[in-house]
């Protein structure tokens, strides 16, 4: 006679525990870094598009492992330009857009290679911006 209430109590307790455990599992499996990368070789060219996730490494990026390692090596890879005087060096017509999250923080960055500061910003991202044809 007492077995049924105990069984119901156990099932209810397990259900409540499992529900909170499922929420934690979903939060833990969501990548800390998820980026949408778009790179154009020149104005008017069709852009190449990739997704990149880190922690865990994945996406359809051509080399996600190296890209994530390059991001990890750089202290603040998405820092804005400093406002310093930039050398007037033209690095090429390539442009890129990177949007998403990096270590849980929002990222929205437009890049080009039109002067020394922008070239350095581009290069700081390493393999995140693979060479365009």
Looking at every residue in the chain, the average pLDDT score rounds to 82
**In whole angstroms, what is the distance from residue 37 CA to residue 97 CA?**
6
Q: 31-128 sits in which CATH class?
A: alpha beta
Q: Which two tokens stand for residue 18?
A: 């499992």
Range of lowest pLDDT (61-70, 79-88, 101-110):
79-88
> Long-range contacts made by residues 61-66, C-beta under 8 angstroms, separation at least 24?
61/37, 61/128, 61/130, 62/130, 63/127, 63/130, 66/126, 66/127
> Pick the residue with more confidence: 131 or 73?
73
Q: Residue ranges of the alpha helices (H) in the chain?
A: 3-29, 64-73, 116-124
**pTM for this predicted structure:** 0.74
* pLDDT tens column, 46-65: 999 999 999 899 999 999 99
- Which of the four pLDDT bands, split at 50, 70 and 90, describes residue 12? very low
Q: Which two tokens stand for residue 117?
A: 């500061």
> Pick the residue with more confidence: 66 or 1?
66
Show me where the domains of the chain are located: 1-28, 31-128
């Amino acid at each position: 006679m007492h077995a049924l209430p105990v069984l119901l109590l156990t099932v209810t307790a397990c259900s409540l525990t499992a529900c909170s455990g499922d929420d934690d599992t979903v939060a833990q499996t969501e990548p800390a870094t998820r980026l949408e990368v778009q790179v154009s070789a020149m104005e008017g060219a069709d852009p190449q598009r990739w997704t990149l996730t880190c922690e865990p490494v994945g996406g359809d990026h051509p080399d996600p492992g190296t890209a994530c390692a390059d991001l990890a090596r750089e202290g603040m890879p998405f820092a804005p330009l400093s406002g310093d005087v930039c050398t007037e060096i033209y690095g090429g017509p390539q442009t890129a857009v990177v949007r998403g999250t990096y270590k849980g923080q929002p990222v929205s960055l437009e890049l080009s290679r039109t002067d020394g500061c922008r070239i350095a910003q581009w290069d700081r991202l390493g393999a995140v911006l693979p060479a365009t044809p």
